[in-house]
Structure 1
């Protein structure tokens, strides 16, 4: 369940978002629900970069029930895309208070290289530094990556890697709103989504339900609704809208994982 939530927003699931603009950065904030219970938050930032491309930054905080007490799992992911919307690379980190996991995907060359590294037995200073980076709302995507990598690279264990052929996927889930907005009519029937947190490529058949209204915190929002189905994955229901700046974004993502219903929804 935890991995699915991070992958979807990181990744990334979403229900409703508050919009803010800081220069060329757009912010969307979400609540995360599991079986109707509020278990965390997601912040999503979209920012333009000088070459005409853009970053999508996701910061997630999830509360889980342990045997004796509640624990917190933090996730931070940065994805970079070209001017044309092609995936370039992603940097994902998940931290559970004791150990951390670093996942890097790079598609700059002929192939897509995927790397995974684990860091454990973090010192108090490292724990503090990592917590500060994960909770930062002011750093750019490049600054977040540099600061977090400086904490990780000296302590890497269990390093693994793999490679995918070029053009073996279409986009990531975080970029689905922009990707789908660039498709003509009902031509979007099948999509191969790169899961940058579980290091997998998932193929989905797409049903375009059409335009529906969703009431979020007493506000009616017109959304394009997509249903993604796969033989290997649970059904995903994606609700997408455009804000006043014409930025396509998730309003809601709904699905199930091992019998648990989850929802990510835009905040007021």
Structure 2
């Protein structure tokens, strides 16, 4: 489930709450629902402050957040939802939903998978030298892992991606950062785009540092290695697209 899809779910729940009379008929269902990621991974995969911004509902933001969380818990792809603080709704995706995000990136269904910006997308100014270099180096590292995996006989099949490999925090954070990319990349906002690229880079580095991607020594290649490299390939695709969106090459070797 991508942020845009989660926003659609929230709008649909709001409309249902108005139709059922649980919210006042003067409630304005917003055309735009902000979806972000909690600063702390323990808070969930995505969060929304929408309950703080809905006018005319006739209930407090916290009460509205409780209603939204209850509605979201019944939705496919969502493992949990809760109202927190003064009106935020935090959402945890199912491992199957995380796996579907990865598969869609690999299939090119989201616009993040082609490796090239869309024909109508303007080339954005590249980020600073340090971030640009970091992204280019990360792309080369990811491409190198894929080459090494092939040489070691690691089978990389998106259809056999084990969702359980995406549940540890570093993997979850990376998948969610990749899921945000299509929405961020379609906006002509270079500053927001660069901030997101910095977050993607941090998530890539955290994932690389937390997980053994390849067999070591006499270790046999396992399906777990294959699943990890599927996520590596999805990350490589997004980093390549991001660099080219800024008019910068994405090298396979440095």
TM-score range, shorter chain: under 0.3
More helix by share: 2
More strand by share: 1
Q: Looking at CA atoms only, which structure, 1 or 2, has the larger radius of gyration?
A: 2
